[in-house]
Chains A and B, each alone.
Chain A
C-alpha cells in the first residue's frame, strides 16, 4: 500500500508544478535590470503594507492607556517588570511604606495612600498580581487584563471548541461525501451533486432568518425531550442545546459544498488502477478511502481544514444569533463588543486582537506549505 501511495497523482502534480514554477527561462542571468530593481522595491513595499497594521497592533497592545491617547507609535513601556514582595509588604498601607513597584509617588491620591500595596496593585490598571505576592507591570499587564477581566478566557475557550468541532465534523463529512461522489455508484448521484452545487450560489444572508427559526424550533423540541426524560440539567451543562449550546453553533456548518467539490475534483484524479490493486489486496471502499485516498490527498484536505478553520474562527453574525448568554459567544464577539464600547481602552482591545490572532497565525505557519500547494493542485487554479 505504501508503494501505491508513492506513485500518487498528487505527488506527480506537485513535482510537475515545481518544475514549471522554478526556472526563469529566457531571462538573461547577469544583466543589471532597472525594472527588476523597481520590482523588488515594489514587492517589498507591498509586503511592508501587509505587515505594518499588525506591527502597529502589537505596539498599541503593549502601551499604557496614556500612551494610546497621545498618538505615539512606539511604546516606552517595558514589556514586563517583576517585583517580588513579601506578604508583609503586600499588606502594609502605602502611608507607611511606599512599595518598590510604585513608579512615582506624585500621582498617588490621598485615598490611595490608605490602601495596602495589594489593594493598590489590584485597583490600578497598570499593575497585575501573579500568585499571591508578585506584582508585575508593563505591556503584558494589558494581556492579563484582557484575558481575565474582558472575559477573553471564556471567549477563547468557546472559539476553540466551536472551531474544533466544526473542522473535525466538516472535514470528515466532506471526505466521506466527496469520496462517494467521486468513486461510488448509487442512484441519484448526479442529481444530488447538482443540488449540492446549486447551494454554492445561495448567499448566507437569505439563510440567516429561516435558519434561526429552524434552530429555535429545534431548541424547543430538544428542550421538551430533555424535560420528558429528566435530563435538562445535564444537557444544559454539556451544552447539548441549539440556543446557547454547541448544536446551534456547529451543526449548520458540518457540511461544506465547497469542500466536497474541491475534494471530489481531487479524488477523481486518483487512477482507477489504484483502487483495483487495493481491492485485490482485499480492501473495501472504507479502508481504501482512509488508508490510500486520504494520505495522498493531504494537500487538498489541509486546504479545506484551513478554510474551515478560518471561517469558523471569523464567524460573527451566526454565533450572535444563536446565543443569548454572553458566556456562549466566541472571540470575534469579544472584539466586536470592544469596538462598540464607548470608553474603549485601546491597549486592551489590541491585546484582545493579538490574542485572537495568535491561534490563526500558528495554524497558518504550520500548514502554509501544504496550503499553497493545495491551492496550486486543486480546482482553485480555475
Chain B
C-alpha cells in the first residue's frame, strides 16, 4: 500500500495487487462471519453431536455410564433399531451424493478425484475421533484426533500444492463428505447390529430353558440370512444394470450375467423363505412366553446365563414374559418394517413412472404394481406401532398427542388464514391496513401473556369466560384445561348422561388439548393471513382481471388462478406450521395443568419434563433425537411431494 503506484501497467505488479486485494477481502469477510459462526457452531451444531453422545449414556452430574442404544429402545421399543438402520441409509446416501458430485466434476475434466480419498479418509477419522474425544472429555482421544486431522490436512495441502490448484478444492470437500458420512453410517450399522445381538441374544438363550420343545433358529443365523437376502437382491440389481450396458448382441459376458442374476435371485428367494419360516417360529415362541411372570423368566435367565440371582437382577432387572416376547420379535419387526419402507419407496417411484409413461398398457402396469407394492409395504409398516408399544408408553402417548395437535391446528389455521386473506385482499376496500394490524396482534403478543389469558378463559371454574359462553348456550360447564377425557366422550356424556359408553379410540383428543388447539388457531390464523396477503400481493392483477372478463365466478377464479399461483406461500406455511406444531413448547407448557394428567403434554413438553423434573438427561436426549428424526422425515417427505404440487411461476 505504501509503495507509490509507479508501475501500474506492469502486469506482474497488477496481478500481485489483485491477489493482495483478494486476500484482504477474504480476511475481512472471515472477520465478518466469525462471530455468527462461532456462536452457531458452539450452540447449534456442536450440541447435536454432544447431545447424541449424551443420549447414549446414563448422564449424571459427575459420572456417566455408557448404555448404547438402550435408551432409544426404552423410548421406542424395537422401532429404535429400525430408526438406526434408516439413519444408516441416510448417511450412506449423503456420502453417495458427495461421490456423485465428484464424479460429475471429473467428467467435466477437473482432474482425478480418487487420490483425494486418502487425505479425506485420514481427515474424517481425525475429526470423528476429535469429536468423540471432546464429547467424552477424554483428552488423549481428543489430541489423537487433532493429530490425525492435522496429518490429513497436511497431506491434502501437499497434494493441492502439487496440482497447483486452489487451496479449497471441491474434491477435498467431497472426499471428506464421502468418507465421514460412510464411516458414520458404517459405525452406526455395526453398532446397531452389536446392540441387537447384545440385547436380544439372551432372550433366545432363555427360550431354550423356558420352552425346550419349541424350535427357533438362533438370532445370529436370522441376521446372516437377512444380510444374504439384502446383498443378493442388491447384487442382482447391480449385475442386471451392468448387463444392460453391454452393447454387443452375442457377448459371452451376457450369459455369465444372466446366470449370475438367476443365481442371486435364487439365493434371495431362498433366504426370504427361510426368514419367513424363522419369523413364524419367532412369533409362536413370543406368543408362548407372553403370559409368563417375572419369577419364571428370571429363573430361566439365571439358568441360561449361569449367574446368581442378585447378579442377574443387577444386570437385567426383572424381565417379564412380555419383555421376552418383544425381544424375540425384535429382529422380525426390524426387517419387516425396513422392507415395508423400502416397498413404499419403490411404489412411489413406480407411481411417478406411471405418470410419465405414455402407453395405456404401461400406465396400467406401473399403477397396478405401485398399488400392490404400496399395500404390501403398508401391511409391513403397520407393525410399527406394535414395535413402538414395547417401548415407553407415555412417550408414545405424547407423540400421538403431538400428531393430533398437528392435525387439529394446521388445516384449520391455514384454511382460516387463506380465507381471511382472500377476503381482505379482494373484497375489502376500507381499513385494509387496520385489519392487517389487528389480525397480527395475537401472534405478536407474547406467548406467555396470551397463553396465560387463555388459561384463565378456559379454566374449569363455572365463571370462566368459556364456561359462561356454554352456560349462555344452555350447556353445562366443563373442565376445559383440566379435563383429561376425550372431547367426544364429554359431548356424549352431555347428551346421554354420564353412563354412556364410548370406546377409547373414539373418545378423541382430550378436552385440555382441544383448548390448546383453539388457542393455537387463534394465534396463528391471523399470522397465516398476513403471510398469505403478501403472497396474494405478488400475484399479477391482470390474471385475475382476465379471468373476470372470461366470466369466471369468484370460486372459479380462486380455484383455477389464485390457489395455484399461491402454492409456494401455502407450501412455505405448511412446512412452517407442521414443524411448528412439532416444536411447540411455550404455550403448551404454560397452559398445561396437572389435573389433565398429561393428556395435553406434547412430545416437547414431555421431554422437557423428563429432563427438568426427573433429571433423566440421557433419556430425554434420546427422546429429543427421535423427535428430531420424525421432524426430519416429515420435512423430507413434504419436500419431495412439493416438487410436483408447487408452482414456482
Distance of A61 from chain B, by nearest CB (Å): 10
Query: Chain A 166-206, CB within 8 Å of chain B: the 1/0 string?
Result: 00000001101101110011111101100110010111111
Distance between Cα atoms of A59 and B525 in the complex (Å): 25
Interface centre among B26, B50, B446, B535, by most A CB within 10 Å?
A: B446
Query: Does chain A have a CB within 8 A of B194?
Result: no
Query: Chain A 123-148, CB within 8 Å of chain B: the 1/0 string?
Result: 00000000000000000000000000
Distance of A360 from chain B, by nearest CB (Å): 6
Are A314 and B448 in contact, with the CB atoms below 8 A? yes
Task: List residues 436-460 of chain B with CB under 8 A from any CB of chain A.
Answer: 436-442, 444-450, 452-457
Task: List residues 619-638 of chain B with CB under 8 A from any CB of chain A.
Answer: 620-621, 624-625, 627-628, 631-632, 635
Query: Does chain B have a CB within 8 A of A54?
Result: yes
Interface centre among B32, B440, B463, B572, by most A CB within 10 Å?
A: B32
Distance between Cα atoms of A364 and B437 in the complex (Å): 9
Query: Chain B 253-267, CB within 8 Å of chain A: the 1/0 string?
Result: 000000000000000
Query: Does chain B have a CB within 8 A of A222?
Result: no
Are B585 and A372 in contact, with the CB atoms below 8 A? no
Are A339 and B590 in contact, with the CB atoms below 8 A? yes
Contact for B45 among A35, A195, A306, CB less than 8 A:
A195
Query: Chain B 397-429, CB within 8 Å of chain A: the 1/0 string?
Result: 000000000000000000000001001111111
Distance of A159 from chain B, by nearest CB (Å): 9
Query: Chain A 58-72, CB within 8 Å of chain B: the 1/0 string?
Result: 001000000001110
Are B28 and A380 in contact, with the CB atoms below 8 A? no
Distance of B180 from chain A, by nearest CB (Å): 13
Contact for A177 among B33, B445, B453, B631, CB less than 8 A:
B33
Distance of A368 from chain B, by nearest CB (Å): 6
A56-B453, A209-B51 known; A177+B32 contact, CB < 8 A: yes
Are A24 and B429 in contact, with the CB atoms below 8 A? yes
Query: Chain A 349-381, CB within 8 Å of chain B: the 1/0 string?
Result: 110010011001100110010001001100011
Are A381 and B427 in contact, with the CB atoms below 8 A? no
What bracket does the count of chain B residues touching chain A fall in? Answer: 35 or more
Are A356 and B449 in contact, with the CB atoms below 8 A? yes
Are A50 and B442 in contact, with the CB atoms below 8 A? yes
Residues of B within 8 A of A39 (CB): 423, 427-428
Distance between Cα atoms of A189 and B453 in the complex (Å): 46
Query: Does chain B have a CB within 8 A of A321?
Result: yes
Are B586 and A316 in contact, with the CB atoms below 8 A? yes
Contact for A179 among B32, B423, B604, CB less than 8 A:
B32
Are B48 and A206 in contact, with the CB atoms below 8 A? yes
Residues of A within 8 A of B441 (CB): 50-51, 54, 361, 364
Distance between Cα atoms of A380 and B572 in the complex (Å): 8
Are B453 and A57 in contact, with the CB atoms below 8 A? yes
Query: Does chain A have a CB within 8 A of B462?
Result: yes
A71-B468, A376-B537 known; A332+B446 contact, CB < 8 A: yes
Residues of B within 8 A of A356 (CB): 446, 448-449
Main secondary structure of the interface of A (DSSP, over half): helix
Distance of A291 from chain B, by nearest CB (Å): 16
Residues of A within 8 A of B465 (CB): 56, 73
Contact for B29 among A57, A174, A184, A364, CB less than 8 A:
A184
Are B29 and A50 in contact, with the CB atoms below 8 A? no
Are B445 and A360 in contact, with the CB atoms below 8 A? yes
Main secondary structure of the interface of B (DSSP, over half): helix
Are B572 and A382 in contact, with the CB atoms below 8 A? yes
A71-B463, A382-B571 known; A173+B47 contact, CB < 8 A: no
Interface centre among A49, A53, A191, A213, by most B CB within 10 Å?
A: A53
Of B36-44, B198-206, B283-291, the one contacting chain A is B36-44
Residues of A within 8 A of B436 (CB): 372
Are A313 and B541 in contact, with the CB atoms below 8 A? no
A50-B439, A185-B25, A255-B44 known; A69+B420 contact, CB < 8 A: no
Instruction: Kindly report which residue of chain B lies nearest to residue A60, judged by CB atoms.
Output: B456
Distance of B137 from chain A, by nearest CB (Å): 9
Are A173 and B36 in contact, with the CB atoms below 8 A? yes
Distance between Cα atoms of A188 and B166 in the complex (Å): 11
Distance between Cα atoms of A163 and B374 in the complex (Å): 51
Are A42 and B608 in contact, with the CB atoms below 8 A? no
Query: Chain B 578-621, CB within 8 Å of chain A: the 1/0 string?
Result: 01001101100110000000000001100110011000010011
Residues of A within 8 A of B442 (CB): 50, 53
Query: Does chain B have a CB within 8 A of A251?
Result: yes
Task: List residues 242-262 of chain A with CB under 8 A from any CB of chain B.
Answer: 251-252, 254-255, 257, 260
Contact for B542 among A25, A49, A285, A321, CB less than 8 A:
A25
Are B448 and A349 in contact, with the CB atoms below 8 A? no
Residues of B within 8 A of A196 (CB): 36, 40
Instruction: Kindly report which residue of chain B lies nearest to residue A189, judged by CB atoms.
Output: B29
Are A35 and B427 in contact, with the CB atoms below 8 A? yes
Query: Does chain B have a CB within 8 A of A26?
Result: yes
Query: Does chain B have a CB within 8 A of A114?
Result: no
Distance between Cα atoms of A209 and B51 in the complex (Å): 7
Query: Does chain A have a CB within 8 A of B189?
Result: no
Are B607 and A50 in contact, with the CB atoms below 8 A? no
Are B545 and A25 in contact, with the CB atoms below 8 A? yes
Contact for B32 among A56, A71, A184, CB less than 8 A:
A184
Residues of A within 8 A of B569 (CB): 381-382
Query: Chain B 162-195, CB within 8 Å of chain A: the 1/0 string?
Result: 0000111000010000000000000000000000
Are B544 and A25 in contact, with the CB atoms below 8 A? yes
Query: Does chain A have a CB within 8 A of B564?
Result: no
Contact for A43 among B25, B40, B44, B428, CB less than 8 A:
B428
Instruction: Kindly report which residue of chain A lies nearest to residue B49, judged by CB atoms.
Output: A210
Residues of B within 8 A of A315 (CB): 586
Are B40 and A199 in contact, with the CB atoms below 8 A? yes
Query: Does chain A have a CB within 8 A of B215?
Result: no
A46-B439, A56-B457, A70-B463 known; A176+B429 contact, CB < 8 A: no
Distance between Cα atoms of A112 and B582 in the complex (Å): 55
Of A15-23, A87-95, A103-111, the one contacting chain B is A15-23
Interface centre among B168, B448, B539, by most A CB within 10 Å?
A: B448
Query: Does chain A have a CB within 8 A of B540?
Result: yes
Query: Does chain A have a CB within 8 A of B522?
Result: yes
Instruction: Kindly report which residue of chain B lies nearest to residue A320, judged by CB atoms.
Output: B612
Contact for A203 among B450, B554, B628, CB less than 8 A:
B628
Instruction: Kindly report which residue of chain B lies nearest to residue A332, judged by CB atoms.
Output: B448
Query: Does chain B have a CB within 8 A of A304?
Result: no
Are A205 and B624 in contact, with the CB atoms below 8 A? yes
Distance between Cα atoms of A284 and B35 in the complex (Å): 20
Contact for B46 among A214, A255, A353, CB less than 8 A:
A214
Known: A187-B166, A206-B625, A252-B43. 11 other contacts (CB 8 A): A42-B420, A47-B439, A54-B441, A186-B33, A187-B168, A203-B582, A209-B624, A210-B54, A285-B25, A316-B585, A335-B590
Closest 7 CB pairs of A and B: A71-B463, A210-B47, A382-B568, A184-B29, A26-B548, A255-B39, A180-B32
Q: List 14 A-B contacts (CB under 8 A).
A: A20-B539, A43-B435, A53-B442, A185-B25, A185-B26, A206-B624, A208-B624, A214-B50, A252-B43, A317-B589, A353-B452, A361-B445, A375-B530, A380-B531
Identify the A interface with B (CB < 8 A).
Answer: 17, 20-21, 23-27, 35-36, 39-40, 42-43, 46-47, 49-51, 53-54, 56-57, 60, 69-71, 73, 173-174, 176-177, 179-181, 184-189, 191-192, 195-196, 199, 201-211, 213-214, 251-252, 254-255, 257, 260, 285-286, 306, 310, 313-317, 320-321, 331-332, 335-336, 338-339, 346, 349-350, 353, 356-357, 360-361, 364-365, 368, 372, 375-376, 380-382
